[in-house]
Amino acid sequence: MDLAQVVAPPYDVITADDQRRYYRQDPRNVVRLIAGEVRASDHPGDNKYSRAAGFFAEWLRTGVLKSEPSPCLYTYRQTFTVPGSEEVRSRTGLLCVVELEPLGTSVLGHERTHARPKADRLSLTQAVEANLSPVFALYEDPSGAVRNVLHATAERTPRFTITTEGGEGHTVWCVRGTEEFQALATALQPSTLFIADGHHRYETALNFRNRQRLAHPQAPPDAAFNFVLMLLVATDDPGLMILPTHRLLRGLNGFDARALIERLRGRATVREMHDRRSLLAAMEAEVAGHRIGFASAAGLWTLDLPRVAETDSPESALDVVALHREVFERELGLHEGILDSELHLSYSRNPGYLMDQVDRRQAQAAFLLRPPRISDVLAVARAGEVMPQKSTYFYPKPLSGVVFNPLSPAIRIHTV
């Protein structure tokens, strides 16, 4: 089996075109589990969730998926080219299961979540009874103890290596043995975990756990549903990077780009850009306050908003928060409750695509953002604050299909 043909990125970055391509690629591609097709004939007994459960059970039965014969963790290294450059980086993490606990204690999030994707993921988890994609989280490793174990593991023969169509390398090594398990557990125990990507998946895992506890009150603490599959990466890993996630506006009654610009002039520095290149170059520049790129059929601009001086809230330092507060909420009336419906905003990290949509009159406007820093994300999480949804795009995404975590109440998790 060519493993590159059966893996895919997480469900929330798979477009309709991607879905069709992964379906054609291989009948065993993980897209059939994580982002199955919706059919006009769907009904409660036959839908994308029931079909995913059927595929998962069949693949286990026929040996497409294999269970480990003994407890195992995985070192997972991703090698990639930084977008827009020729620089090659690598990022090394630990694939493992982590005991679930409510957010806000030793597991911290930084983004708001929406109800629809959480309901979708919960329906899928209930049908398949497995974590199909890892939650991506960051940990602190000041002593370097975790790094030492992972790098020592990576000196061995890998379990497998996958090179995707885009050229990303994904190499996985097994970590076995009580001594290495104990070293990792001891090093990770004092660390707070910061969710980088997968807030919906983590909250879904909590919801599923709570339902399972009600359904199986006699299940022991080490029952599999009390844990969630995670990829843990150190906060100081040199391969960590965040790409900006831009916003595309559609279907807002009464939207007038030039009127918006004029209203903003009273509290923002507005500069008109002559072409896309100058706008994108301006978004790379260092400025003292917030900078937002704005593209509409009426023209291209940068909007510079001052930072809120009277607050020490970490989220107030973020461009995305300024955009949502000063433009979406204050000027356009798009409050969080409205945004939760996902009727007016869509998201992309490709500014060219967004501006093409505007030029073709398939969208009203595009709002371009600079990425937050890793330190910004950690500060927001530590303060118990949250950013708007899709504020961070940690790059690259861990693959779905590398490791699954079955959640049957009969399965026990080996703990140390």
CATH of the domain at 307: 3.30.1760
pLDDT at 199: 94
Q: Look at the chain and report how many structural domains it folds into.
A: 2
Asked if residue 227 and residue 84 are part of one domain, the reply reads yes
- Mean pLDDT, residues 385-400: 91
Tens digits of residue pLDDT in 273-291: 999 999 999 999 989 899 9
| Domain-located, residue 346 | yes
| Domain-located, residue 391 | no
Q: Are 258 and 275 in contact, with CB atoms under 8 Å apart?
A: no
Structural domain of residue 109, as residue ranges?
68-241+396-406
Tens digits of residue pLDDT in 191-250: 999 999 999 999 999 999 999 999 999 999 999 999 999 999 999 999 999 999 999 999
- Mean pLDDT value across the chain: 93
Asked if residue 237 and residue 294 are part of one domain, the reply reads no
Q: Which helix (H) or strand (E) holds 203?
A: helix 199-215
Asked if residue 202 and residue 75 are part of one domain, the reply reads yes
Tens digits of residue pLDDT in 137-178: 999 999 999 999 999 999 999 999 999 988 999 999 999 888
Asked if residue 232 and residue 264 are part of one domain, the reply reads no
| Domain-located, residue 111 | yes
- Evaluate if residue 336 carries a pLDDT over 80: no
pLDDT at 341: 65
Asked if residue 265 and residue 146 are part of one domain, the reply reads no
| Domain-located, residue 55 | no
Q: How confident is the model at residue 389 (pLDDT cuts 50, 70, 90)?
A: confident
Q: How confident is the model at residue 309 (pLDDT cuts 50, 70, 90)?
A: low
Asked if residue 339 and residue 253 are part of one domain, the reply reads yes
Asked if residue 290 and residue 360 are part of one domain, the reply reads yes
| Domain-located, residue 26 | no
Q: How confident is the model at residue 308 (pLDDT cuts 50, 70, 90)?
A: confident
pLDDT at 178: 86
- Evaluate if residue 115 carries a pLDDT over 90: no
User: CB under 8 Å to 343, separation ≥6 — which residues?
Assistant: 251
Asked if residue 360 and residue 250 are part of one domain, the reply reads yes
| Domain-located, residue 130 | yes
- Mean pLDDT, residues 9-36: 95
Asked if residue 115 and residue 88 are part of one domain, the reply reads yes
- Evaluate if residue 267 carries a pLDDT over 70: yes
Closest CA to 111 of 5, 201, 218: 201
The bridge status of strand 227-234 relative to strand 88-99 is antiparallel
Asked if residue 211 and residue 92 are part of one domain, the reply reads yes
Q: Tokens for 291?
A: 């900078």
| Domain-located, residue 9 | no
Asked if residue 359 and residue 237 are part of one domain, the reply reads no
| Domain-located, residue 138 | yes
Asked if residue 193 and residue 74 are part of one domain, the reply reads yes
**pTM of the entire predicted model:** 0.91
pLDDT at 364: 97
Q: How many CB atoms lie within 10 A of CB 57?
A: 13
- Evaluate if residue 415 carries a pLDDT over 80: no
pLDDT at 294: 98
Q: How confident is the model at residue 315 (pLDDT cuts 50, 70, 90)?
A: confident
Phi first, then psi: give them for residue 245, nearest 5 degrees: -115, 115
pLDDT at 310: 53
